[in-house]
Structure 1
């Protein structure tokens, strides 16, 4: 039982760490200095996702303390903890899948996002990544801002579009960013699942202890050989 409690405590701390990581990431993602992330945030509110997941994870770890410290004869709090973990698993799966589904439609989604951006934002992206327009440097390819790097029309027409840079699988591209985000979120499911199983084992061990205690009491309280 002692080893099981240590494993259970480790998983509880892991869930706490995941909660803190979610909240810290939400704060970092709210900073405006990441161009691609700023585009993604027009469709996905990472601040809400991070704070929502982080606060529910931390709430679960705090509730786990009185649950594990409760009387061996009663496992109600541990059962309630497992129901809470089921809610956390469902919420985590929903958010992770939402980000994943968005990542599957990046090219079309970002064209709409690109088209809705101001000239300042488009120029900043074009200057930073040395590209013009979205698909290419023509008006039909999404070039609406002929400033900075793309001031010259003839020069811009011969440049590659910014879509490949925006949706790149290399940092800081959206594919790289989104893959890391939803992979991390899905990774939290492993912690939640293991914590659920560990709690089930603790409940089972407590039931066994209570059962043998009652049998011992019926035998006169002498204990088992």
Structure 2
């Protein structure tokens, strides 16, 4: 009958695999979204997702799935410790990888305004106009720096001058969106940490069971 420790270990192992599915689903869905025609509803997400390490996210998910598959022999071989050790090191690697991705996104939030100004400058007039309509603003810093795009929100120079630049609301919305991404990444690292601790406990438990088995064999109780 499985012990509580093994049940927790199996549960965390499957949650770990689920995190890999979450990362893969997010990256593939994000890449698909980025190919869609920009609209007021998706323009922010498309711009920010283009700054995220999506390809590295796919690689990270693959490593997570490989680690999960390599953990299965350790589950079905109750006395084996070699597969568990390999799993433990691989989970540590996955945790470091995911942490690196989360930190990369977090660093983006520390220099949001500078980064967004570069994004704004290289985008098409259509995208700039969509951002103006979304945030009811004109231009990035103000209506003249850089010049606003004339649209339904910024009808003319007089109206544009009365509206603020997009830097404030654009930065705020970007930080909120990126905060969700790197917080999710750090949450996955937390799951990885718990799994590593659980692997260590299972290894310790199996080591003790092996020691007791050797003691029984020396006492002639190996057949009991």
Same fold, TM-score > 0.5, yes or no? yes
Note if 1:95 corresponds to 2:101: yes
Following superposition, the deviation at residue 53 of structure 1 comes to 2.4
Could you tell me how far apart the structure 2 residues matched to 1:21 and 1:9 are? Answer: 18
Specify the alignment match of 1:38 in structure 2.
46
Following superposition, the deviation at residue 68 of structure 1 comes to 2.1
In structure 2, relative to structure 1, the CA distance for the partners of 1:37 and 1:191 (3 Å cut) is same
Following superposition, the deviation at residue 71 of structure 1 comes to 5.0
Following superposition, the deviation at residue 144 of structure 1 comes to 4.3
Could you tell me how far apart the structure 1 residues matched to 2:86 and 2:131 are? Answer: 50
In structure 2, relative to structure 1, the CA distance for the partners of 1:105 and 1:211 (3 Å cut) is same
Secondary structure of 2:208 counterpart: helix
Could you tell me how far apart the structure 2 residues matched to 1:111 and 1:206 are? Answer: 57
Specify the alignment match of 1:196 in structure 2.
196
Could you tell me how far apart the structure 2 residues matched to 1:90 and 1:67 are? Answer: 22
Following superposition, the deviation at residue 194 of structure 1 comes to 0.7
Note if 1:182 corresponds to 2:182: yes
Secondary structure of 2:153 counterpart: helix
Provide the aligned length of Structure 1 versus Structure 2: 216
Specify the alignment match of 1:134 in structure 2.
140
Note if 1:61 corresponds to 2:68: yes
Which of 99, 117, 121 lines up with 1:115 in the alignment? Answer: 121
Gaps of 5+ in 2: none
State whether residues 70 and 87 of structure 2, in contact with CA within 8 Å, keep that contact through their aligned partners in structure 1: yes
Specify the alignment match of 1:52 in structure 2.
59
What is the TM-score normalised by the length of structure 2?
Answer: 0.90
Following superposition, the deviation at residue 79 of structure 1 comes to 0.5
Following superposition, the deviation at residue 145 of structure 1 comes to 2.2
Which of 147, 152, 156 lines up with 1:148 in the alignment? Answer: 152
What is the TM-score normalised by the length of structure 1?
Answer: 0.89
Secondary structure of 1:167 counterpart: helix
Gaps of 5+ in 1: none
Note if 1:78 corresponds to 2:79: no
Superposition RMSD on alpha carbons, in Å?
1.8
Following superposition, the deviation at residue 183 of structure 1 comes to 0.4
Could you tell me how far apart the structure 1 residues matched to 2:219 and 2:52 are? Answer: 63
Specify the alignment match of 2:163 in structure 1.
159
Any idea what the Cα deviations from partners look like across 1:145-185, whole Å, max 9, x if unmatched?
A: 233322301111111111222122xxxx1111100000000
